[in-house]
Structure 1
């Protein structure tokens, strides 16, 4: 009887382990497919930006795609083959100097990007060069931001700066800027001064949009409120209206040396007008400081309690 019970327990444990293993494999496969989908969408956006907006107007705004545009114009080589060749070289460098992790993070995007350049037709959606630069740069920034978010890459000029950082201590942002500026100055020689200026504009727009996507979409407002006589009333009203947590600090006036309390609360942009309204209605003489916060982690923002 005892042996049968032991065997049953072992069989049950083995079965549970098998179920867990299958679930883990299923989760791993799902994560890989989701990552592949995100990379595919990102490189498709990059290809749309290059083939439909920037490339037709000879705007080589850095990166492997910029070299591809230059080579296609100067030598007649298809830009997708140029990008593929550069990415193969970059993958070899990543494997030799940066290790397996960066190599595998770069591998899929490096191979899919030239394929996307080949698939997306080349055409001029608008003859207005400025419009093409603006919209092309925005689309490009969204694609790169997606890759950054999932710690992937489309290869190209993103790898050499990482090598410079590892072996020479160079800031990767400076390394990338230097590499892109070399390509932009090459466009001055190949295309002319106007295309050179538009390439610089494109880099600027891409940088601004990427920064906004990375920080601006999660931007919150932190508010400091000091009321001489109505701190409790303001706290109660904010709690009732917003259901937000807040912190109360002991503060002291620098001019009159009086002790008082200061409320700190973090809210979304949509909630900010309500906070101002509440504070103004309760104590119009209150002192309030508001500043932007790039990102907030914690209850009510990155996770929510189960009701």
Structure 2
């Protein structure tokens, strides 16, 4: 197959009907909107009343609001305009705007809406006097909202634009540059408010990062197993027939001994790791196994019918 034919074949496989494209884009935009609304809800309910300036343009907006009275939602939108102009010329032009503008506009508008209407909805506002409780829920909700936005290909704008530009120009890790920017804003909050509030803001930032990872990747239920053995056939047969899982095998050589071994690679549910250990202990106690975390698995080799077909072939061979 020529390069041109290959490109055409791949393009044809990736093409989908127009209604499917519209549905996919609509679902993406709806998810980004919900994530931005959730962020704004947590921002007004838990972050603003306690001055938890947990980094980013949103945190800077709390400081500016305290010093000048400028509305945080309007400040967030205004501050992102020059960042969008900068990102337009350095991060992909229209594609960058398409994935970032919606979240910023929705967050800014929802923030202004909640600032006006939230005190009238709740009989008591703020809803708690416990700053630590507000910090925890602030981090959880903002992290989940941000994770949803990232999961569907959007960005929340703000300092993430700066960190992406730094990464593209210098290769400096985005996580580190983002942390440095956030720490500067949190330190400024400590000077404006007090250091206890600054410490709580940093805690909210950490919780938001962890909950964003959870929303982005989900709970890890799968484990990746690497088994190195000199007795591969019984192990392979037991895994396929007892666990109903597929397994991939390679011939490998020991780096120290130079002896030939067989490497078995498979993924199982977290609850089935013990069963694999039991099989190894009974069949090949000298085997070496490494257990790793897998966020997601995808593909046909985990389908029951295929595993049953493989098991049938092994039964016929034996």
> Where do residues 266-277 of structure 1 align in structure 2 (5 Å cutoff)?
266-277=267-278
Which deviates more, 92-101 or 77-86? 92-101
The count of residues paired between Structure 1 and Structure 2 equals 282
1:85 Cα deviation after fit:
1.4
Task: Provide Cα deviations, 1:176-203, integer angstroms capped at 9, x if missing partner.
Answer: 2232122111101111110111111122
Structure 2 counterpart of 1:105? 99
Alpha-carbon offset, residue 295 of structure 1: 4.3
- Alignment deviations for residues 238-284 of structure 1 (CA, whole Å, 9 cap, x no partner): 1112221112344567898765544332212132222223334x337
Kindly report which structure 2 residues correspond to 1:135-154, keeping only aligned pairs within 5 A, or say none: 135-154=137-156
Q: Is the contact between residue 227 and residue 283 of structure 1 (CA under 8 Å) also seen in structure 2? A: no
What is the aligned partner in structure 2 of residue 72 from structure 1?
65
Please give the alpha-carbon distance, in whole angstroms, between the structure 2 residues aligned to 1:296 and 1:81. Answer: 39
Q: Take 1:256 and 1:162, find their aligned partners in 2: how far apart are those partners?
A: 46
Give the drift of 1:227: 5.6
RMSD over equivalenced CA pairs, Å: 3.0
Q: Which of 46, 53, 61 is the aligned partner of 1:53?
A: 46
Go from structure 1 to structure 2 and tell me whether the alpha carbon gap of 1:254 and 1:151 turns closer, same or farther (over 3 Å shift). Answer: closer
Please show how residues 72-221 of structure 1 align to structure 2 within 5 Å: 72-98=65-91, 99-120=93-114, 121=118, 123-167=125-169, 169-215=171-217, 217-218=219-220, 220-221=222-223
Any gaps of 5 or more consecutive residues in structure 2? 1-15, 120-124, 307-318
Give 1:110 shift.
Answer: 1.2
In structure 2, the CA distance between the partners of 1:296 and 1:286, relative to structure 1 (3 Å rule), is farther
1:136 is paired with a residue whose SS is helix
Q: Using the alignment, how far apart are the partners of 2:305 and 2:255 within structure 1?
A: 43
- C-alpha distance in 2 between matches for 1:286 and 1:59: 54
The 3-state SS of whatever aligns with 2:266 is strand
Which moves more between the two structures, 136-145 or 237-246? 237-246
How far does residue 133 in structure 1 lie from its aligned partner after superposition?
1.1
TM-score by length of 2: 0.76
8 Å Cα contact 2:229/2:284 also seen in 1: no
The CA deviation at 1:59 is 0.6
CA distance in 1, matches of 2:164, 2:255: 48
Give the distance between the partners of 1:167 and 1:223, measured in 2 at CA.
38
